[in-house]
Amino acid sequence: MKTATRGVPVVAIVGRPNVGKSALFNRLVGTGGEGSAAIVSDEPGTTRDRHFARADWNGQVFWLVDTGGLVDDPHTPMDVEIRRQVTEAIDEADLLLFVVDTKAGLTPSDRRILDLLRGSSRPWLLVANKVDDPSSPDFYEFYELGAGEVIPVSAANGKGSGDLLDVVVGRIPESPPEELESLRVAVVGRPNVGKSSIVNRLLGEDRLVVSDQAGTTRDAIDAPLVYHGRSLVFIDTAGLRRQARVSDGIEFYSSLRTRRAIERADICVLVLDAVAGLEGQDLKIAALAWEAGRALMIVVNKWDLKEKDDKTAAKFEKECAEKAPFLAWVPFVFTSATTGQRVTRILDEVLKVDGEWHKRISTSQVNQTLEALVARRQPPQAQGHDVRLNYATQVEVAPPTFAVFGNHPDLVADHYVRYLHNGFRAAWGFMGAPLRILLRRKAA
């Protein structure tokens, strides 16, 4: 059975400890080196984590998850941990790879996992690892489980991994095309900062809810609403609820959910806790969204709990920009989901940021600005060459991207590119939008 999914599908590797889950994960996604099967995407903002990676096999893209993240707590019985790990994977993934160890044979733990899988509605595959020689009959005993096809692999030498990937991509759902008319908004941030409270408040405003048709109810994965005539979709609100349910959930799933949400979004709304301030994890999420070219705004929530005077908000923003300069180009809204203060301002800001993200500057204006910048400061000479920039034009929106043409595009110093960035920002703003500059060789 193919399940409906939104976005890039998730494939999770499950199994008891020591069957070779991580070895298989590494073998399947590798680093593009010898013997690694699938190619890890190098799209910005989607680099791999210890527990998951974006893989591409014959053009079918998916997230592969290694669930070997067992909490090393001697007080929790191993089988309880395995159960939790498998249950979470069933919740999160579109397909599970159940790995067993051919050298060790079937164990009671394997049978318990099998029961969990059989009781779920998720599709899964039985993968017999440590079959270093595929012609050996070692793995036949697993047919006795009556689980259908057994796929032999060797994570150690890579045998069978290509065949396994062929089966995997045949089983995962295809990503349905995204609704392009709606503005897709992802509310992201660390657990407990108030994401669900904010989304619930926005959706709880009855006038904002579109309809109760199938697929658009509040229980759906994505929650649509209309604001000032624009249709917006809050993506993966189901994920927010799930996170609230399993508060001690395995953390990498929340990190994976964040990446999937960013990948599907036009605009990322990063929620911070006003009292905790901007932490390393927040910054990482902001950078992921920015590097992936998404529009970004920051909501500083729980503002009711913050001791403040009339300068506190400005000071908060300034401190954030000191930690990460690009945040100077991101709008901030200070809210309280508890009292409702300024929560609908988030929607005003989302529409504004979308406008900036899609803003187009005429070529004549771009060239005027470039000329003025170059007149004020010439690009430095490099390797005895005169470096000249001749003209520029905006080649893309969402994110705004400028091509700047010159005689030696590869010799333009990084600090000079930053100078151009700042000059373009000063001229046109683009608040909330990452801005890209491409240096190109001038046509002869």
Q: Please tell me whether residue 287 adopts helix, strand or coil conformation.
A: helix
- The stretch near ligand GDP (CB under 6 A) out of 20-28, 176-184, 236-244, 393-401 is 236-244
Q: Please tell me whether residue 386 adopts helix, strand or coil conformation.
A: coil
Residue 109 near ligand GDP by CB under 6 A: no
Starting at the edge strand that comes first in sequence, how are the strands of the sheet with 150-152 ordered? 39-40, 52-57, 60-66, 10-14, 95-101, 124-129, 150-152
Q: Which residues contact 41 (CB under 8 A, 6 or more apart)?
A: 54, 55, 56, 61
Helix (H), strand (E), coil (C) string for 12-37: EEECCCCCCHHHHHHHHHCCCCCCCC
Q: Which residues contact 331 (CB under 8 A, 6 or more apart)?
A: 297, 298, 349, 352, 353, 431, 432
The count of chain residues that interact with ligand GDP, using the rule CB under 6 A, is: 18
In the chain, the largest separation of any two C-alpha atoms, in whole Å, equals: 78
Cβ-contact 190, 286 below 8 angstroms: no
Residue 338 near ligand GDP by CB under 6 A: yes
Alpha-carbon span 11 to 97, nearest angstrom: 7
Nearer to ligand GDP, 342 or 440 (CB): 342
Task: Name the closest residue to ligand GDP (Cβ).
Answer: 194
Please report how close the Cβ of residue 339 comes to ligand GDP at its closest, in angstroms. 7
Residue 304 near ligand GDP by CB under 6 A: yes
In sign, the C-alpha dihedral spanning 401, 407, 410, 415 is negative
Quick one: tokens of 80? 């309880």
Nearer to ligand GDP, 182 or 336 (CB): 336
Nearer to ligand GDP, 89 or 199 (CB): 199
Nearer to ligand GDP, 102 or 197 (CB): 197
Nearer to ligand GDP, 80 or 305 (CB): 305
Residue 240 near ligand GDP by CB under 6 A: yes
Nearer to ligand GDP, 305 or 438 (CB): 305
Residue 196 near ligand GDP by CB under 6 A: yes
Nearer to ligand GDP, 5 or 237 (CB): 237
Alpha-carbon span 341 to 333, nearest angstrom: 10
Cα–chain-centroid distance for residue 422?
27
Residue 192 near ligand GDP by CB under 6 A: yes
Alpha-carbon span 209 to 201, nearest angstrom: 11
Residue of 9, 30, 68, 194 interacting with ligand GDP (CB under 6 A): 194
Nearer to ligand GDP, 339 or 381 (CB): 339
Residue of 227, 302, 346, 432 interacting with ligand GDP (CB under 6 A): 302
Residues 364-403: x where in contact with ligand GDP by CB under 6 A, - otherwise, as a string = ----------------------------------------
- The stretch near ligand GDP (CB under 6 A) out of 168-176, 194-202, 345-353, 415-423 is 194-202
Nearer to ligand GDP, 139 or 316 (CB): 316
- Tell me the β-bridge partners of 185: 234, 267
Residues 242-281: x where in contact with ligand GDP by CB under 6 A, - otherwise, as a string = -xx-------------------------------------
**Residue closest to 263 by CA, chosen among 11, 9, 7:** 7
Cβ-contact 301, 271 below 8 angstroms: yes
Residue 122 near ligand GDP by CB under 6 A: no
Residue 305 near ligand GDP by CB under 6 A: yes
Enumerate binding residues for ligand GDP (CB under 6 A): 189, 191-197, 240, 243-244, 301-302, 304-305, 336-338
